[in-house]
């Protein structure tokens, strides 16, 4: 028998699955990494017509929008680069967009550095061949700081904020390096989660000055309210940051980078930009400013308006039925036909990141026009009322996030719109698209 039926040969089926889910396991790295790489569906696995399209052209466009907004000028023959560096924030699998492909695209587009939250996220990027500086912002290296060894081996730059971490880094450096190890120090100026706080700053600064094995290359902080219309809490944080900067300077330490700005601050507040900004959500084409309360800084609003969404999530109509008046749809019978209706079923549900809170409230796009979700979003399937979508047919594309042009018009469903309906922020909308949905990378 030449053609193989995987069900007849369990081993073979397993092999095939392993290979197709993990198309390029890093040969040397995979034995050493104690962190398993999360398995994500790859385009080759896609049988179901549900997918996320990642538009890498839009990603590059958004990088340029941010660079322009912060006054970054790239180096050119005879001219050095000027203005703040833009660092791409790629934590959480690049906000659900696929970290390696996003990193590769940004690297080629000339981004100066990348930031991740976790050590394992940094390792994933190194395994993908990314050579840019990568800052591990989360500052968690395990209860005994063992992860710092891996940070060093992978050439990542750690963020530290307490004395034992500095000691540990110095000790590792003595054991295995000839040059001081670069690191960033995080100062808590008002987020209240991580970072050295005012009262402990002097002692930590003294320790750093007295530890020649480590080199402070960046002083950083994180802003709590930069996306809100009132800038005062942000200015208060920046004042505390300036005090920390001055306390360092009094000891003769001037790190290469000061960085505090996230997307919102980078676009809106020039005094937050320093030598580098850490852009996350704006890179992915989502405005950091909620559209419901217009942000007061005009320049920031217009930069945000130029951003183009990078992720688009789509599925297809796989079933169509005529429902008579009074009949119900879905779990709990929460939707009931008011007159004769046409119902389309699409194979996407809350396990894919389509929020169950969109039940009977959200809409999707079919043939370029909005159609309401009918009944509850279930784990794998969602029903849509397409009675008003003339010509809706089996196989029609259904867009749940992003834009669609069709015979009936053009429209888009933004992460901001979904966030408003389900009561969250657009960051959670994009990171919530689950790994069951394969990412297809588009190079326009």
Ligand X SMILES: *Cc1c(COP(=O)(O)O)cnc(C)c1O
Q: Which is nearer to ligand X, 266 or 317 (CB)?
A: 266
278 touches ligand X (CB under 6 A): yes
Comparing CB distances to ligand X, the nearer of 41 and 269 is 269
Q: How far apart are CA 89 and CA 333, in angstroms?
A: 43
Closer residue to ligand X, CB minimum distance, 101 or 425: 425
Contact by Cβ (8 Å): 67, 307: no
Rounded to an integer, what distance in angstroms lies between the CA atom of residue 115 and that of residue 41? Answer: 24
Q: Is 63 in the site for ligand X (CB under 6 A)?
A: no
The answer to whether 281 contacts ligand X (rule: CB under 6 A) is: yes
Count of residues that bind ligand X according to CB under 6 A:
13
4 strand-pairing partners? none
Interacting positions 143-202 with ligand X (CB under 6 A): none
Least separation in angstroms between residue 61's CB and ligand X is: 17
Q: Which of residues 78-107 bind ligand X (CB under 6 A)?
A: 89, 91
- Min CB(111)–ligand X separation in Å: 14
Residue among 278 and 367 whose Cβ is closer to ligand X: 278
Smallest distance, Å, CB 355 to ligand X? 20
The answer for 142, left when phi > 0, alpha when psi is -120 to 50, beta otherwise, is left
In the complex, least distance from residue 266 CB atom to ligand X, rounded to whole angstroms: 7
Strands (E), 271-408: 276-279, 311-316, 319-323, 328-329, 335-336, 341-346, 363-366, 369-372, 382-385, 397-406
Q: Which residue is nearest to ligand X (CB)?
A: 280
Stretch that binds ligand X, among 147-155, 273-281, 316-324, 433-441 (CB under 6 A): 273-281
Cα-to-chain-centroid distance, residue 201: 31
3-state secondary structure of 35: coil
- Catalytic residue flag (residue 295): no
Q: Are 373 and 345 in contact (CB under 8 A)?
A: no
Taking CB under 6 A as the criterion, the residue among 113, 288, 375, 402 binding ligand X is 288
Question: How many Cβ atoms are within 10 Å of 242's Cβ, its own excluded?
Answer: 13
Q: Quote the tokens at residue 367.
A: 């043939």
Cβ proximity to ligand X, 182 vs 375, nearer residue: 182
Structure tokens at 22: 């993990």
Q: Residue 145 or residue 272: which is nearer to ligand X going by CB? A: 272
Tell whether residue 285 is a contact of ligand X (CB under 6 A).
Answer: no
The stretch among 38-46, 275-283, 318-326, 435-443 that binds ligand X (CB under 6 A) is 275-283
Cβ nearer to ligand X, comparing 241 with 350 = 241
Question: Is the Cβ–Cβ distance between 22 and 45 less than 8 Å?
Answer: no
- C-alpha–C-alpha distance, residues 230 and 247, integer Å: 28
- Those residues whose C-beta lies under 8 Å from the C-beta of residue 427, and which sit 6 or more positions away, are 95, 280, 281, 286
What interhelical angle do 198-209 and 232-250 show, nearest 10?
A: 30
Q: Say if residues 113 and 84 touch (Cβ distance below 8 Å).
A: no
Catalytic member of 95, 331, 350, 369: 331
For residue 280, state whether it binds ligand X (rule: CB under 6 A): yes
- Please, which of residues 213-272 interact with ligand X by CB under 6 A? 222, 262-264
Q: Whole-angstrom Cα distance, residue 330 to residue 381?
A: 9
Q: d(Cα 134, Cα 150) in Å, to the nearest integer?
A: 13
Stretch that binds ligand X, among 126-134, 165-173, 247-255, 276-284 (CB under 6 A): 276-284
Which tokens in the block code for residue 424? Answer: 């969250």
Among 63, 279, 313, 400, binds ligand X (CB under 6 A): 279
The nearest distance, CB 297 to ligand X, in angstroms, is 16
Query: Residue 157 has which token pair?
Result: 């730059």
Q: Shortest Cβ distance from residue 435 to ligand X (Å)?
A: 19
Can 245 be counted among the known catalytic residues?
no
Tally the C-alpha atoms within 13 A of residue 329's C-alpha that lie toward its C-beta. 29
Burial of 293 (0-12, 13-18, 19+ CB in 10 A): exposed
Catalytic residue among 91, 186, 245, 369: 91
Per-residue binding letters, 364-403, with ligand X (x by CB under 6 A): ----------------------------------------
Q: Tell which one of 99, 127, 137, 307 touches ligand X (CB under 6 A).
A: 137
Residue range at the interface with ligand X (CB under 6 A); choices 51-59, 277-285, 344-352, 353-361: 277-285
Closer CB to ligand X, 261 or 377, in the complex: 261
Please, which residue, 169 or 279, has the CB nearer to ligand X?
Answer: 279
Q: Residue 95 class from Cβ within 10 Å (0-12 exposed, 13-18 middle, 19+ buried)? A: buried
Question: 38 burial class (0-12, 13-18, 19+ CB within 10 angstroms)?
Answer: exposed
- The catalytic residues are 91, 331
Q: For binding to ligand X (CB under 6 A), which residues are involved?
A: 89, 91, 137, 222, 262-264, 278-282, 288
């Amino acid at each position: 028998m030449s053609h193989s039926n995987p069900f007849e040969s369990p081993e073979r089926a397993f092999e095939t699955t392993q290979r197709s889910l993990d198309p390029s396991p890093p040969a040397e790295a995979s034995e050493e990494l104690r962190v398993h790489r999360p398995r994500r569906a790859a385009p080759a696995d896609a049988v179901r017509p549900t997918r996320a399209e990642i538009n890498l052209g839009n990603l590059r466009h958004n990088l340029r929008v941010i660079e322009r907004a912060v006054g970054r000028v790239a180096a050119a023959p005879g001219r050095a680069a000027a203005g703040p560096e833009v660092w791409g924030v790629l934590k959480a699998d690049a906000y659900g967009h696929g970290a390696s492909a996003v990193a590769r695209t940004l690297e080629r587009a000339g981004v100066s550095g990348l930031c991740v939250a976790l050590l394992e996220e940094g390792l994933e990027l190194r395994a993908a061949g990314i050579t840019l500086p990568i800052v591990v912002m989360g500052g968690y290296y395990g209860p005994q700081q063992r992860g710092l060894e891996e940070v060093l081996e992978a050439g990542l730059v750690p963020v530290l904020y307490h004395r034992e971490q500095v000691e540990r880094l110095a000790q590792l450096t003595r054991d295995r390096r000839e040059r001081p190890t670069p690191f960033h120090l995080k100062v808590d100026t008002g987020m209240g989660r991580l970072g050295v706080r005012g009262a402990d700053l002097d002692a930590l600064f003294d320790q750093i000055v007295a530890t020649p094995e480590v080199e402070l290359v960046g002083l950083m902080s994180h802003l709590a309210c930069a996306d809100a219309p009132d800038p005062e809490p942000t200015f208060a944080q920046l004042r505390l940051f300036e005090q920390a900067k001055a306390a360092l300077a009094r000891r003769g330490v001037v790190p290469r980078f000061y960085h505090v700005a996230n997307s919102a601050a980078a676009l809106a507040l020039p005094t937050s930009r320093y030598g580098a900004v850490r852009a996350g959500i704006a890179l992915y084409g989502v405005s950091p400013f909620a559209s419901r309360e217009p942000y007061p800084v005009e320049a920031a609003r217009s930069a945000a308006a130029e951003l183009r969404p990078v992720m688009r999530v789509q599925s297809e109509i796989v079933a169509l039925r005529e429902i008579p008046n009074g009949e119900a749809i879905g779990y709990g019978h929460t939707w009931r036909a008011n007159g004769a209706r046409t119902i389309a079923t699409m194979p996407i549900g809350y396990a894919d990141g389509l929020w169950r809170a969109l039940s009977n409230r959200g809409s999707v796009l079919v043939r370029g026009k909005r159609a309401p979700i009918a009944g509850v979003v279930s784990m794998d399937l969602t029903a849509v009322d397409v009675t008003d979508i003339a010509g809706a047919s089996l196989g029609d594309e259904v867009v749940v996030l992003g834009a669609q042009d069709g015979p009936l018009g053009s429209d888009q469903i933004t992460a901001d719109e979904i966030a408003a309906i389900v009561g969250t922020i657009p960051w959670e909308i994009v990171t919530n698209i689950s790994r069951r949905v394969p990412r297809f990378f588009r190079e326009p």
